[in-house]
A and B are shown apart, each in its own frame.
Chain A
Amino acid sequence: AQSVTQPDIHITVSEGASLELRCNYSYGATPYLFWYVQSPGQGLQLLLKYFSGDTLVQGIKGFEAEFKRSQSSFNLRKPSVHWSDAAEYFCAVVLYNTDKLIFGTGTRLQVFP
């Protein structure tokens, strides 16, 4: 079935540690790819997006993501996590020539001091 998968429901890291959140998609063609962050009780904020071109994408708040076509993945990374990064992270795709976001189930990030 076509889907967006975030295998890690919950991740806990120490402040200052590196972070990688996984995202895989199962569609025939490469979709447009997004990462959003949602703080508790808040809306979604766009972290970064990939449409085409350079497969390493830089976003806000020090985040980056790498598109790997061979693995159908778009993993989010940050070299050093801050306590304020604790939130829910959603990977999402837009299939070519459609007009809706399809979201993964999210990864909840907890940061310990």
Chain B
Amino acid sequence: GQQVMQIPQYQHVQEGEDFTTYCNSSTTLSNIQWYKQRPGGHPVFLIQLVKSGEVKKQKRLTFQFGEAKKNSSLHITATQTTDVGTYFCGGFKTIFGAGTRLFVKA
């Protein structure tokens, strides 16, 4: 069946370091969404990517959609403590990766 795999499961960084999470699908995606969930909170939509090779930026966050539309990445430059949380990718509309939990040490 359709699956979305996400790596790494956890990432510990020092504040100011960069962070990247990767999302891979077993089949081609028509689009992909990224969500952030703060500890104890609910998922909040960040962005949707639709086009092959698409790159979108939101301040320190850079989102990429692979050329084959089977993978995506989220890169955070110079992490801050406010970036703490779990980042999920979503594909096939209702299938989500298990998430990457980001810990930031001040």
A binds B: no
- List chain A positions with a Cβ less than 8 A from chain B: none
